[in-house]
Amino acid sequence: MPLDLLITTGPTGGHFFPGLATGEELACPGSQIRVGFVVPDRGYIRHWLQKKGFPAWFFPDFRASMRRALPLCVRIPDILRRCNAILASCRPSAVFATGSYASVPLSLAARAAGVRLVLHEQNVTAGRATRMLSLCATATAVTFPDTRGLRTAKTWHTGLPIPRDFRRGADRFEALRRFGLSSGLKTLLIMGGSQGSSFLNRMAQQHAAFFRKDGWQLLHLAGSDAERVRAAYRDAGTPAAVLPFCYEMGAAYAAADAAVCRAGAGTLAELCEHALPAIVVPYPFAGRHQAENAAYVAALGGCAVLPQEVSAARRFPELLADVYRRSDEMRRCLQRARIVDREGNVASLLRRILLQ
C-alpha cells in the first residue's frame, strides 16, 4: 500500500493526538496526500484510527525501563524488521514522529532507509527521544516558543495541532444535556489525561461535599477509578457525570466553566483553544516536564498551579474560588498564548517537505 507519510506516536494521548490532528489536516477532503500510522496497540488509539479511516500498523506496547531491559533487547531486532517491512511496503516520502520511546524504531529505520524524518516536540524541554532523533531529522516542530534541549538549527515553532473533535464549536447547552448536567450550576471538568490520575481522583473524592455546597456539578473523567469516584459523589449528594474516558472532548470543554487537570502539553493547548481557566496539577515524575509546561502558562496568567502534595491539596477549595473569580482575565490570557497550531503550521511544514 503506497503512502506518502507514515506517522508514528507514543501510547499516551499527549503523543498520539498531535499525530492524529496532523493526519486529519493532511488527508482532508480533496488532498492527494496518503497517510498511515505506526502506533502502539491501545484501545483508544484503535478507536480513533478506525473512526477516521486511517490505515494503521500496531505494535505491542512496550516500555524501555531498566527492569525490562533484557526482554526489550530481545524484541528490538523483531521490531526493526517489522519497521523495515512496513517501509518497504508503503514506500513513504517521509515519517512524522511525535516523540516517546515508541516512535524511535520506525524513525531509526526510516533514516537508515534514506526516508526523511520530521519530528514534533510537545514540551518546554525536549524529551530524550526527540533530542536524540533531532540530530538526524530533516526538521523539528515545537509547541512552545522557547523549547529547550534541542541541539539543531532545523527547528520551527508551530504550536501543537489539536484534533477536530477537540476544537471549539460545540454548543454549551447541548453539551450539558449530552452529559446529563444542569445549565443552572457551575460545571467543573476534572481529567487526568488519557489514562486518568489517581491523585486527582482522590482529591476530588475528598472534596465531594464541598462541590455540592459551593454550587458545582462535576464532569469527571476518572479512568479505572470511575466507579469509586461516582460512588463518592453519590454519597455526598453532588451532581456529577463520571466517565472512565471521553471521546467527545470538544463537548466536554464546551460544558465546563473551569477545569482541574494535569499539565501535559496537549491538555494545556486544549485549555488555550477553549480559553478554559484551570487548576493544573503537574505530574511530578517523567523528568518534571509537566511542571515546566505549567510554569509557562501560569506566567502568562492562564492557570493556577497546585503541586501534587497532600498539604497543597488542602488549599484546593480556596484556589478554585480564586480561579473562578479571575476566570474572565484568565480566558483572555489563554487566548493570547502561542502554543496552539490553529493555522495548520505542522501540516504546512510537512507538505513543503513532501514536495521537495
**C-beta separation of 241 from 220 below 8 A:** yes
Mean pLDDT of 98-126: 96
C-alpha distances in angstroms, 229 versus 200, 218, 241, 263, 335?
10, 11, 10, 21, 32
- What is the rounded CA–CA span in Å between residue 246 and residue 249? 6
C-alpha distances in angstroms, 10 versus 107, 126, 212?
12, 15, 38
- Please say if the pLDDT value at position 312 is more than 50: yes
Question: What was the pLDDT predicted at 78?
Answer: 86
pLDDT in tens, 20-40: 999 999 999 889 999 999 999
Percent of the chain with pLDDT over 70: 95
Identity of the amino acid at 314: R
Mean pLDDT of 101-113: 96
**C-beta separation of 189 from 219 below 8 A:** yes
DSSP E strand boundaries for 272-317: 278-280, 304-305
Strands 186-191 and 155-157: unpaired
Cα angle 170-175-176, degrees, rounded to a multiple of 5: 150
Higher pLDDT, 197 or 269: 269
- What is the rounded CA–CA span in Å between residue 47 and residue 69? 30
C-alpha distances in angstroms, 129 versus 18, 120, 171, 273?
16, 11, 39, 27
Question: What was the pLDDT predicted at 195?
Answer: 61
CA dihedral 305, 309, 310, 311 (to 10 degrees): -70
Run of H or E residues at 264: none
Question: What was the pLDDT predicted at 242?
Answer: 98
Q: pTM higher than 0.85 for the full model?
A: yes
Domains and CATH numbers, the chain: 5-161+341-355 (3.40.50.2000), 166-336 (3.40.50.2000)
Question: What was the pLDDT predicted at 196?
Answer: 66
Average pLDDT, the chain: 94
Q: Which of 94, 86, 64, 89 is nearest to 76 (CA)?
A: 64
Cα angle 210-213-271, degrees, rounded to a multiple of 5: 65
Question: What was the pLDDT predicted at 8?
Answer: 98
C-alpha distance across the termini of the chain, in Å: 22
Question: What was the pLDDT predicted at 311?
Answer: 82
**C-beta separation of 118 from 139 below 8 A:** yes
- Please say if the pLDDT value at position 194 is more than 80: no
What are 96's strand-pairing partners?
7, 118
pLDDT in tens, 290-303: 999 999 999 999 99
Phi/psi of residue 97, nearest 5 degrees: -120, 135
Question: What was the pLDDT predicted at 66?
Answer: 41
Q: Which of 94, 97, 108 is nearest to 33 (CA)?
A: 94
Mean pLDDT of 332-343: 96
Cα angle 217-219-225, degrees, rounded to a multiple of 5: 115
Question: What was the pLDDT predicted at 356?
Answer: 86
Strands 139-142 and 216-221: unpaired
pLDDT in tens, 170-190: 999 999 999 999 999 999 999
pLDDT in tens, 33-66: 999 999 999 999 999 999 999 999 999 876 644 4
Residue 77, C-alpha cell as written in the block: 531486532
pLDDT in tens, 253-268: 999 999 999 999 999 9
Phi/psi of residue 160, nearest 5 degrees: -105, 125
- Please say if the pLDDT value at position 67 is more than 90: no
DSSP state, residue 246: -
- What is the rounded CA–CA span in Å between residue 8 and residue 348? 18
Residue 98, C-alpha cell as written in the block: 511525535
- Please say if the pLDDT value at position 281 is more than 50: yes
pLDDT in tens, 11-22: 999 999 999 999
